[in-house]
Amino acid sequence: MSDTAGVQPVAVVTGANSGIGRATAIHLATQGNRVFGTVRSVAKAEKLQAMAEGAGVEIELVELDVADDSSVATGFAEILDTAGRVDHLVNNAGVGGNAVAEECPTSMYLDVMNINLCGAVRCIQAVLPQMRERRSGTIVNITSVTGRVAALAQSPYVTSKWAFEGLSEGLAQELAPFGIRVAIIEPGVTKSAIFAKNIDAPNSTGAYDAHYRRMFQFYAAGMAQATDPFEVAEVIHQAITTDEPHLRYPVSWCGPEMSARHDRIDDDDWIGLGAIADDDEYNRRFAEIFGVDISTS
């Protein structure tokens, strides 16, 4: 979706140093975009640079911390001064967060929300004035299947992603008069370093053993079948370029199934799933409700 024929589209991908962000930055560059990848440290972006070189493309790196107002302002000022425009913003930067509500300090909710939601808002606000002026552009918000389904024992992460979904849905309507497209990408389990880092299980009360066990069981099943992040990158490119856009794009292992079925789940079935004591019965019922097998045996 380019608003000026013959002008190379400019794309910004936040959190470009790993996983979906890295794959998206490289893939968009191979498709002819001038890509700026935001990273918290250029010095730690060797793998991104090596992969870009291997693909025969250049990613222009910008140090930027989405959690910080001044860092985002400085980073996007640099991008706009250099490129003069941003056609496509991919809000990918994010963190996980494991905890049940009883055991999660409010500071953790705030920290996760500041990155996963407010970080995207900072970037959106940085690019929208020039998009509105041109009446063209795309905002791609990478939420999660957990933005549709309240995944177990990940209360701060789920809360941030549900909020991000709400922001995105409202934003799509707000920007429609200006010709700016919003796309929500809802990945399930994708090969990413975030899972290796996301291994906390507070369980400070000792009352939630089953909850944390089942959460890790879900991701163990998912990682055995995890989607290559370049497949997600292809969906993002499609969302940017298609002439028949959708608001939501579920993708990756379990994403399409769980997103499609969530709105059809009876509330009693959802609560009943949580009340099941036996793990095997829980897995069986989960598969029945969502069409996803989370057993690993």
pLDDT in tens, 272-293: 999 999 999 999 999 999 999 9
Q: What angle do CA 210, 215, 221 make, to 5 degrees?
A: 120
Q: Decide the pairing of beta strands 137-142 and 10-13.
A: unpaired
pLDDT surpassing 50 at residue 3:
no
List CB contacts of 31: < 8 A, sequence separation 6 or more. 237, 241
Per the confidence metrics, is the pTM higher than 0.75?
yes
pLDDT at position 258, please? 93
pLDDT band, residue 100 (cuts 50/70/90): very high
C-alpha 44: how far from its chain's center?
21
Please give the Cα distance from 195 to 295 (Å, whole number): 18
* Structural domains in the chain, sorted by start: 10-199+226-260 (3.40.50.720)
Single-letter amino acid code for the residue at 99 = A
Positions annotated as catalytic residues are 157
pLDDT band, residue 204 (cuts 50/70/90): confident
pLDDT at position 5, please? 57
Structure-token match 């918290």, residue found: 40
> Which residue, among 66, 84, 77, 71, has the nearest Cα to 8 in the 3D structure?
84
Positive or negative torsion for Cα 285, 287, 289, 290: positive
pLDDT band, residue 194 (cuts 50/70/90): low
pLDDT at position 93, please? 97
Structure-token match 């140090």, residue found: 63
pLDDT band, residue 142 (cuts 50/70/90): very high
